[in-house]
Amino acid sequence: MKKNLKVLGSILAIGLIIIIIKVYPFMKFMNSFEVVEVDKNLTLALGGGGNSAILMSDKEVLVVDSKIMGGKDKLFALVKEKAGNKPIILINTHLHADHAGGNGLYKGNTIIAGAYTKEQWIEENGEGDGLPTEFLKDKKEIQVGEETVIIQNMGQAHTYNDVVVFFKNRKMLFMGDMLMIGMHPFLKENNGSKISLYLEKLNKALEEFQPEKIVPGHGRVGGKELVAEFQTYFAETKSVAEGKLELSAIEDKYKDWIPFLSMASTEATVKYWKKELGIK
Protein backbone atom coordinates (compact mmCIF):
# COMPACT_ATOMS: atom_id res chain seq x y z
CA MET A 1 0.00 0.00 0.00
CA LYS A 2 2.80 2.38 1.04
CA LYS A 3 4.70 1.42 -2.11
CA ASN A 4 1.63 2.16 -4.26
CA LEU A 5 1.29 5.60 -2.67
CA LYS A 6 4.97 6.30 -3.38
CA VAL A 7 4.53 5.32 -7.06
CA LEU A 8 1.40 7.47 -7.28
CA GLY A 9 3.25 10.38 -5.67
CA SER A 10 6.10 10.06 -8.16
CA ILE A 11 3.69 9.96 -11.13
CA LEU A 12 1.89 13.08 -9.84
CA ALA A 13 5.19 14.89 -9.27
CA ILE A 14 6.41 14.04 -12.81
CA GLY A 15 3.03 15.16 -14.23
CA LEU A 16 3.28 18.44 -12.35
CA ILE A 17 6.83 19.05 -13.58
CA ILE A 18 5.73 18.39 -17.20
CA ILE A 19 2.83 20.86 -16.84
CA ILE A 20 5.13 23.51 -15.30
CA ILE A 21 7.66 23.09 -18.16
CA LYS A 22 4.85 23.31 -20.76
CA VAL A 23 3.20 26.36 -19.17
CA TYR A 24 6.46 28.20 -18.36
CA PRO A 25 6.84 30.04 -21.75
CA PHE A 26 3.22 31.22 -21.46
CA MET A 27 3.67 32.43 -17.87
CA LYS A 28 6.95 34.16 -18.78
CA PHE A 29 5.26 35.91 -21.73
CA MET A 30 2.26 36.93 -19.62
CA ASN A 31 4.48 38.18 -16.78
CA SER A 32 6.80 40.32 -18.90
CA PHE A 33 6.12 44.01 -18.27
CA GLU A 34 7.57 46.71 -20.51
CA VAL A 35 6.85 50.41 -20.14
CA VAL A 36 7.10 52.52 -23.32
CA GLU A 37 6.80 56.30 -22.95
CA VAL A 38 5.40 57.19 -26.38
CA ASP A 39 5.08 60.92 -25.62
CA LYS A 40 4.47 63.10 -22.58
CA ASN A 41 0.82 62.09 -22.34
CA LEU A 42 0.86 58.52 -23.60
CA THR A 43 2.46 55.48 -22.00
CA LEU A 44 2.15 51.89 -23.19
CA ALA A 45 2.49 49.06 -20.68
CA LEU A 46 3.12 45.94 -22.74
CA GLY A 47 2.70 42.45 -21.32
CA GLY A 48 1.72 41.54 -17.74
CA GLY A 49 -1.47 40.20 -19.31
CA GLY A 50 -2.85 42.06 -22.32
CA ASN A 51 -1.13 45.18 -23.66
CA SER A 52 -2.32 48.38 -21.96
CA ALA A 53 -2.23 52.14 -22.49
CA ILE A 54 -2.32 55.11 -20.14
CA LEU A 55 -3.47 58.36 -21.78
CA MET A 56 -3.22 61.52 -19.67
CA SER A 57 -4.85 64.92 -19.70
CA ASP A 58 -5.07 67.70 -17.10
CA LYS A 59 -8.50 66.50 -16.04
CA GLU A 60 -8.54 62.72 -16.32
CA VAL A 61 -6.69 59.59 -17.29
CA LEU A 62 -7.83 56.91 -19.71
CA VAL A 63 -6.58 53.34 -19.36
CA VAL A 64 -6.93 50.53 -21.92
CA ASP A 65 -7.15 47.08 -20.25
CA SER A 66 -6.36 46.36 -16.60
CA LYS A 67 -4.17 43.20 -16.90
CA ILE A 68 -3.90 40.21 -14.53
CA MET A 69 -1.76 38.78 -11.68
CA GLY A 70 1.33 40.91 -10.85
CA GLY A 71 0.89 43.00 -14.03
CA LYS A 72 -2.40 44.46 -12.80
CA ASP A 73 -0.76 45.88 -9.65
CA LYS A 74 2.24 47.24 -11.56
CA LEU A 75 -0.09 48.94 -14.06
CA PHE A 76 -2.31 50.41 -11.33
CA ALA A 77 0.75 51.76 -9.47
CA LEU A 78 1.90 53.40 -12.71
CA VAL A 79 -1.56 54.90 -13.31
CA LYS A 80 -1.69 56.33 -9.77
CA GLU A 81 1.86 57.66 -10.06
CA LYS A 82 0.88 59.53 -13.23
CA ALA A 83 -2.71 60.44 -12.43
CA GLY A 84 -2.80 60.95 -8.68
CA ASN A 85 -6.46 61.30 -7.79
CA LYS A 86 -7.76 62.28 -11.23
CA PRO A 87 -10.82 60.35 -12.35
CA ILE A 88 -9.99 57.26 -14.41
CA ILE A 89 -11.82 55.94 -17.45
CA LEU A 90 -10.94 52.26 -17.90
CA ILE A 91 -11.79 50.50 -21.15
CA ASN A 92 -11.78 46.70 -21.43
CA THR A 93 -11.19 45.47 -24.99
CA HIS A 94 -12.96 42.24 -23.94
CA LEU A 95 -13.98 40.22 -20.91
CA HIS A 96 -11.03 37.81 -20.55
CA ALA A 97 -9.21 38.00 -17.22
CA ASP A 98 -5.82 38.87 -18.77
CA HIS A 99 -7.44 42.16 -19.90
CA ALA A 100 -10.00 42.75 -17.14
CA GLY A 101 -8.41 40.99 -14.14
CA GLY A 102 -7.35 44.27 -12.53
CA ASN A 103 -10.77 45.96 -12.84
CA GLY A 104 -11.44 45.74 -9.10
CA LEU A 105 -8.59 48.19 -8.44
CA TYR A 106 -10.50 50.85 -10.43
CA LYS A 107 -13.64 50.66 -8.28
CA GLY A 108 -15.52 53.99 -8.18
CA ASN A 109 -14.27 54.98 -11.66
CA THR A 110 -15.87 54.60 -15.09
CA ILE A 111 -15.32 51.13 -16.62
CA ILE A 112 -16.45 50.61 -20.22
CA ALA A 113 -16.66 47.23 -21.98
CA GLY A 114 -18.60 45.78 -24.91
CA ALA A 115 -22.29 44.90 -24.61
CA TYR A 116 -21.98 41.58 -22.76
CA THR A 117 -24.75 40.72 -20.36
CA LYS A 118 -23.92 41.03 -16.67
CA GLU A 119 -24.32 37.26 -16.44
CA GLN A 120 -21.71 36.66 -19.18
CA TRP A 121 -19.30 39.00 -17.39
CA ILE A 122 -19.81 37.38 -13.99
CA GLU A 123 -19.53 33.86 -15.47
CA GLU A 124 -16.07 34.79 -16.79
CA ASN A 125 -14.77 37.04 -14.00
CA GLY A 126 -16.86 36.18 -10.96
CA GLU A 127 -18.74 38.64 -8.78
CA GLY A 128 -16.54 41.39 -7.48
CA ASP A 129 -15.71 45.06 -7.77
CA GLY A 130 -14.66 44.86 -11.38
CA LEU A 131 -18.03 44.92 -13.14
CA PRO A 132 -18.10 47.53 -15.95
CA THR A 133 -20.23 50.62 -15.31
CA GLU A 134 -21.13 50.77 -19.02
CA PHE A 135 -21.70 47.99 -21.54
CA LEU A 136 -21.20 49.71 -24.89
CA LYS A 137 -23.45 48.63 -27.78
CA ASP A 138 -21.91 50.57 -30.64
CA LYS A 139 -19.64 53.62 -30.54
CA LYS A 140 -18.54 56.35 -28.16
CA GLU A 141 -16.22 59.33 -28.45
CA ILE A 142 -14.37 60.79 -25.49
CA GLN A 143 -12.11 63.84 -25.51
CA VAL A 144 -9.03 63.30 -23.33
CA GLY A 145 -7.03 66.53 -23.49
CA GLU A 146 -5.90 67.01 -27.08
CA GLU A 147 -6.79 63.41 -28.05
CA THR A 148 -10.11 62.21 -29.43
CA VAL A 149 -10.67 58.66 -28.29
CA ILE A 150 -13.10 56.51 -30.26
CA ILE A 151 -14.32 53.36 -28.58
CA GLN A 152 -16.00 51.01 -31.05
CA ASN A 153 -17.77 47.75 -30.33
CA MET A 154 -16.86 45.59 -33.34
CA GLY A 155 -19.32 42.86 -32.31
CA GLN A 156 -18.42 39.17 -32.48
CA ALA A 157 -14.87 38.07 -33.32
CA HIS A 158 -12.58 36.89 -30.48
CA THR A 159 -15.56 37.09 -28.11
CA TYR A 160 -19.20 38.22 -28.49
CA ASN A 161 -18.35 41.92 -28.05
CA ASP A 162 -14.81 42.96 -28.94
CA VAL A 163 -14.03 46.61 -28.45
CA VAL A 164 -11.29 48.50 -30.30
CA VAL A 165 -9.95 51.85 -29.10
CA PHE A 166 -8.68 54.47 -31.55
CA PHE A 167 -6.57 57.50 -30.61
CA LYS A 168 -7.57 59.65 -33.57
CA ASN A 169 -4.81 62.29 -33.48
CA ARG A 170 -2.08 59.72 -32.93
CA LYS A 171 -3.67 57.36 -35.51
CA MET A 172 -3.11 54.52 -33.03
CA LEU A 173 -5.49 51.56 -32.80
CA PHE A 174 -5.75 49.16 -29.85
CA MET A 175 -7.24 45.91 -31.10
CA GLY A 176 -7.37 43.71 -27.99
CA ASP A 177 -7.26 40.00 -28.82
CA MET A 178 -8.82 40.57 -32.24
CA LEU A 179 -5.12 40.72 -33.04
CA MET A 180 -2.45 38.59 -31.34
CA ILE A 181 1.17 38.45 -32.42
CA GLY A 182 3.60 35.75 -31.30
CA MET A 183 0.96 33.99 -29.24
CA HIS A 184 -1.71 31.52 -30.31
CA PRO A 185 -5.26 32.82 -29.78
CA PHE A 186 -7.55 31.39 -27.08
CA LEU A 187 -10.63 30.33 -29.00
CA LYS A 188 -13.61 29.57 -26.77
CA GLU A 189 -17.01 28.73 -28.12
CA ASN A 190 -18.85 29.86 -24.97
CA ASN A 191 -17.23 33.32 -25.28
CA GLY A 192 -18.29 33.57 -28.94
CA SER A 193 -14.93 33.07 -30.73
CA LYS A 194 -15.53 32.86 -34.48
CA ILE A 195 -12.48 32.94 -36.78
CA SER A 196 -14.36 33.87 -39.97
CA LEU A 197 -15.71 36.95 -38.16
CA TYR A 198 -12.21 37.74 -36.84
CA LEU A 199 -11.03 38.10 -40.43
CA GLU A 200 -14.02 40.22 -41.45
CA LYS A 201 -13.76 42.54 -38.42
CA LEU A 202 -9.98 42.98 -38.76
CA ASN A 203 -10.50 44.33 -42.28
CA LYS A 204 -13.44 46.47 -41.15
CA ALA A 205 -11.38 48.07 -38.37
CA LEU A 206 -8.51 48.85 -40.76
CA GLU A 207 -10.89 50.37 -43.31
CA GLU A 208 -12.76 52.42 -40.75
CA PHE A 209 -9.83 53.84 -38.79
CA GLN A 210 -6.88 53.74 -41.24
CA PRO A 211 -4.43 53.40 -38.33
CA GLU A 212 -0.70 54.03 -38.67
CA LYS A 213 0.22 52.32 -35.42
CA ILE A 214 -1.43 49.17 -34.15
CA VAL A 215 -1.26 47.71 -30.64
CA PRO A 216 -2.33 44.04 -30.53
CA GLY A 217 -3.81 42.41 -27.42
CA HIS A 218 -0.51 40.54 -27.01
CA GLY A 219 2.83 40.93 -28.73
CA ARG A 220 4.78 43.69 -30.39
CA VAL A 221 3.46 47.05 -31.58
CA GLY A 222 3.62 47.73 -35.32
CA GLY A 223 1.66 48.79 -38.38
CA LYS A 224 -0.83 47.13 -40.74
CA GLU A 225 1.68 44.33 -41.44
CA LEU A 226 0.72 42.86 -38.05
CA VAL A 227 -2.86 42.34 -39.25
CA ALA A 228 -1.58 40.69 -42.43
CA GLU A 229 0.61 38.40 -40.31
CA PHE A 230 -2.35 37.28 -38.18
CA GLN A 231 -4.58 36.86 -41.24
CA THR A 232 -1.90 34.62 -42.81
CA TYR A 233 -1.87 32.52 -39.60
CA PHE A 234 -5.63 32.02 -39.90
CA ALA A 235 -5.46 31.39 -43.67
CA GLU A 236 -2.78 28.73 -43.22
CA THR A 237 -4.49 26.98 -40.31
CA LYS A 238 -7.69 27.00 -42.42
CA SER A 239 -5.84 25.29 -45.31
CA VAL A 240 -4.69 22.59 -42.87
CA ALA A 241 -8.27 22.15 -41.61
CA GLU A 242 -9.47 21.78 -45.21
CA GLY A 243 -6.78 19.19 -45.96
CA LYS A 244 -5.00 21.44 -48.48
CA LEU A 245 -1.86 21.71 -46.36
CA GLU A 246 -0.09 19.40 -43.91
CA LEU A 247 0.08 20.57 -40.28
CA SER A 248 3.81 19.82 -40.34
CA ALA A 249 4.22 22.38 -43.16
CA ILE A 250 3.29 25.27 -40.86
CA GLU A 251 4.16 23.96 -37.39
CA ASP A 252 7.77 25.06 -37.77
CA LYS A 253 6.74 28.56 -38.88
CA TYR A 254 4.76 29.12 -35.68
CA LYS A 255 7.04 27.19 -33.32
CA ASP A 256 8.05 30.40 -31.52
CA TRP A 257 4.44 31.50 -30.96
CA ILE A 258 3.51 30.97 -27.33
CA PRO A 259 1.05 28.10 -26.79
CA PHE A 260 -1.05 27.24 -23.75
CA LEU A 261 -1.21 23.48 -23.27
CA SER A 262 -3.72 22.04 -25.77
CA MET A 263 -5.98 25.09 -25.47
CA ALA A 264 -4.01 27.53 -27.63
CA SER A 265 -1.68 26.13 -30.30
CA THR A 266 -1.43 25.68 -34.07
CA GLU A 267 -3.24 22.36 -33.67
CA ALA A 268 -5.96 23.90 -31.46
CA THR A 269 -6.62 26.61 -34.07
CA VAL A 270 -6.84 23.98 -36.84
CA LYS A 271 -9.31 22.02 -34.69
CA TYR A 272 -11.37 25.16 -34.09
CA TRP A 273 -11.45 25.90 -37.85
CA LYS A 274 -12.67 22.33 -38.49
CA LYS A 275 -15.52 22.77 -36.04
CA GLU A 276 -16.40 26.18 -37.45
CA LEU A 277 -16.37 24.88 -41.05
CA GLY A 278 -18.20 21.65 -40.17
CA ILE A 279 -15.28 19.44 -41.30
CA LYS A 280 -15.14 16.03 -39.59
Residues that bind Zn ion (CB under 5 A): 50, 98, 177, 217
| Residue number, 147 or 177, with CB nearest to Zn ion | 177
- Cα–Cα distance measured from residue 148 to residue 167, given in angstroms and rounded to the nearest whole number: 6
Q: How far is the CB of 49 from Zn ion (least distance, A)?
A: 7
Q: Count, in order, helices (H) and strands (E) of the chain.
A: 8, 12
Taking the CB of residue 269, how many other CB atoms lie within 10 A of it? 23
The beta-strand segments (E) located in the chain are 33-39, 42-47, 52-56, 61-64, 88-91, 110-114, 134-136, 139-144, 147-155, 162-167, 172-174, 213-215
Q: How far is the CB of 184 from Zn ion (least distance, A)?
A: 11
CA neighbor of 61 nearest in space, from 37, 40, 82? 82
Residue 266 φ then ψ, to 5°? -60, -45
Q: How far is the CB of 65 from Zn ion (least distance, A)?
A: 9
Q: How far is the CB of 234 from Zn ion (least distance, A)?
A: 16
| Residue number, 102 or 144, with CB nearest to Zn ion | 102
| Residue number, 151 or 264, with CB nearest to Zn ion | 264
Q: How far is the CB of 161 from Zn ion (least distance, A)?
A: 15
| Residue number, 184 or 238, with CB nearest to Zn ion | 184
| Residue number, 48 or 155, with CB nearest to Zn ion | 48
CA neighbor of 93 nearest in space, from 13, 205, 17, 9? 205
Is residue 125 a contact partner of residue 132, using CB atoms and an 8 Å limit? Answer: no
